[in-house]
C-alpha cells in the first residue's frame, strides 16, 4: 500500500502543496497583504491547513536524506565494524520512522480537506416508526454526544423538536473540535433499529429508522450568498413549550434560498437575532453542500464518495438490540451494541477509515 502511494504522482502532489505553502508564506510577509485584513485571514486559514501536511512532509524528506546517508555508510567497505553496526541500527530506526510518516501523509492526502474541518452541523430526523423512531433519533444524539464528550469536542444544540415520550422528531446540533469531520463524516445516511419499543405493550420487536446528515460548517465568506436578494425571510411566533413569551413574541425564523429552494427553520431561541444567526449558519452549510454535490455529479455520475455524500436514504447501519450487535453495512461487520450505545465508536470509526482509505487508494 505504501509503495503504491509513494509513486511520483503522489510525491508530486506533496511538492505542489509545499510550493503553495511557500508562496503563501511569501505573500503574507508582503506589506500590502498585511494591510488587507480579509486577504490575510483567508491566507492564514489556507496556510494553517497546508501546514498539517507540508511540515510532516518536509520532516519526511529530512529523514529520507538521513536514511540514504546511513545506507551509504553501511554499504561502504571502508567503514569499520562499529560504525557499520551503528549505521545498521540507524537504518532500522529511520526506516520505521519514514514508513510511519509516509502512512500519515497518505492518509492526509487521500482524506483531502476532511482533516481540516473542525466544525460540523449534524441533523438527525426520525423516520419510519412513529414515536419509537423519535426515541431512536434521541438515542443517536446521545450516542454522538457521549463520543464527542469523550474526545473533548464541544456540542451546541441549534434546534430541537420533541414528542410526548421525550423522543426527538428532529435535532440539529453543532460539534466543534480538531479534525471533527474525520470522526463524524461517516455517519451520514439511514440508521435502523430493531428492538421492543417502550410504547409496545405486547413485547413485539419493531423496526424503526432515523436519518443523519453531516455538513461541514463553513464561514459565510466561503460561499457567495446575498442575504438580501437571494434569501426570503419569514418571521413568526415560535410554537411549542416555553410559556407566554414563546407564543407571543415573533422570534421563529424561516429562511428560503431562492436559487436552490433550500429552506431552514429555527425556533429554538427566544431571541429573533439568535435564531436568525443559527439559521444562516445552517443554510450556508446546506447551500455549499448542495453545490458541491452538483459538482460531484458532473465530474462522475456513477461514483460517489462514501464520506460527505449526505445521502439520507442509503441504509448504513442497523442497531439490533435482541442480539446485542450493531452492523455497519458498508463494512459488513458487527460491533458490540453495548459499547456503541455507551458512546464508544472508536473501533467502528477506525474500521471505516481503513475501508475508505483502501477504496480511495484503489480509485486514485
- Chain-centre distance of CA 305, in angstroms? 13
Q: Are residues 290 and 256 in the same domain?
A: yes
pLDDT of residue 249: 57
Distance CA 175, CA 171 (A): 13
Q: Do 283 and 344 have their domain in common?
A: no
115: DSSP letter: G
Phi, psi of 351, deg, nearest 5: -65, -40
* Beta-ladder partners of 269: none
CATH number at residue 353: 3.30.70.1660
Is the domain of 286 the same as that of 216?
no
pLDDT at 97: 92
Q: Is 165 helix (H, G, I), strand (E, B) or coil?
A: coil
Convert 38-69 to b/e letters by CB count within 10 Å (16 or more is b). Answer: eeeeebeeebebbebbbebbeebbebeebbee
Q: Where are the alpha helices (DSSP H) in the chain?
A: 2-5, 8-28, 31-34, 37-75, 81-110, 130-151, 181-184, 244-248, 272-299, 337-341, 346-363
Residue 123 is predicted with a pLDDT of 92
Q: Are residues 346 and 229 in the same domain?
A: no
- What is this structure's pTM? 0.67
Mean pLDDT by runs of 10 across the 364 residues of the chain is 55 89 91 85 84 90 92 88 89 91 79 76 91 94 96 92 90 91 91 87 86 82 76 75 49 87 82 85 85 65 40 77 94 95 94 83 64
C-alpha cell at 71: 545506507
Phi/psi for 198 (5° steps) reads: -65, -20
Only one residue has cell 520505521, namely 96
CA 132 to chain centre: 28
Whether 178 and 312 share a structural domain: yes
Which residues constitute the domain of residue 259?
A: 222-299
Q: How many domains does the chain have?
A: 3
Please give the Cα distance from 150 to 344 (Å, whole number): 9
CATH code of the domain containing 243: 3.30.160.20
Amino acid at each position: 500500500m505504501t509503495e503504491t502511494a509513494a509513486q511520483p504522482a503522489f510525491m508530486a502532489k506533496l511538492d505542489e502543496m509545499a510550493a503553495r505553502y511557500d508562496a503563501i508564506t511569501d505573500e503574507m510577509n508582503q506589506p500590502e497583504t498585511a494591510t488587507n485584513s480579509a486577504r490575510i485571514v483567508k491566507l492564514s486559514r489556507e496556510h494553517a491547513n497546508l501546514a498539517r501536511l507540508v511540515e510532516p512532509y518536509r520532516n519526511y524528506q529530512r529523514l529520507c536524506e538521513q536514511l540514504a546517508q546511513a545506507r551509504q555508510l553501511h554499504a561502504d567497505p571502508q567503514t569499520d565494524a562499529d560504525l557499520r553496526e551503528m549505521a545498521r541500527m540507524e537504518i532500522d530506526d529511520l526506516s520505521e520512522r519514514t514508513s510511519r510518516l509516509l502512512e500519515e501523509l497518505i492518509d492526509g492526502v487521500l482524506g483531502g480537506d476532511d482533516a481540516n474541518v473542525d466544525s460540523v452541523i449534524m441533523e438527525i430526523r426520525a423516520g419510519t416508526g412513529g414515536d419509537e423512531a423519535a426515541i431512536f433519533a434521541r438515542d443517536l444524539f446521545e450516542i454522538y454526544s457521549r463520543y464527542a464528550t469523550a474526545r473533548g469536542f464541544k456540542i451546541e444544540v441549534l434546534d430541537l423538536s420533541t414528542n410526548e415520550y421525550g423522543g426527538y422528531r428532529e435535532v440539529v446540533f453543532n460539534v466543534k473540535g480538531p479534525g471533527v469531520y474525520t470522526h463524524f463524516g461517516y455517519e451520514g445516511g439511514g440508521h435502523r433499529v430493531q428492538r421492543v419499543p417502550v410504547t409496545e405493550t405486547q413485547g413485539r420487536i419493531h423496526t424503526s429508522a432515523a436519518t443523519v446528515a453531516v455538513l461541514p460548517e463553513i464561514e459565510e465568506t466561503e460561499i457567495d450568498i446575498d442575504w438580501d436578494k437571494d434569501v426570503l425571510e419569514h418571521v413568526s411566533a415560535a410554537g411549542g413549550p416555553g410559556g407566554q413569551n414563546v407564543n407571543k413574541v415573533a422570534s421563529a425564523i424561516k429562511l428560503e434560498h431562492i436559487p436552490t429552494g433550500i429552506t431552514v427553520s429555527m425556533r429554538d431561541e427566544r431571541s429573533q437575532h439568535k435564531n436568525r444567526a443559527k439559521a444562516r449558519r445552517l443554510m450556508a452549510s446546506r447551500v455549499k453542500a448542495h453545490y458541491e454535490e452538483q459538482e460531484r455529479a458532473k465530474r462522475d455520475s456513477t461514483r460517489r464518495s462514501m464520506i460527505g455524500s449526505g445521502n439520507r436514504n442509503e441504509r448504513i447501519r442497523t442497531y439490533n438490540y435482541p442480539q446485542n450487535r450493531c452492523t455497519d453495512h458498508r463494512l459488513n461487520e458487527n460491533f458490540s451494541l453495548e459499547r456503541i450505545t455507551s458512546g464508544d465508536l472508536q473501533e467502528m470509526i477506525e474500521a471505516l477509515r481503513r475501508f475508505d482509505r483502501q477504496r480511495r487508494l484503489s480509485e486514485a
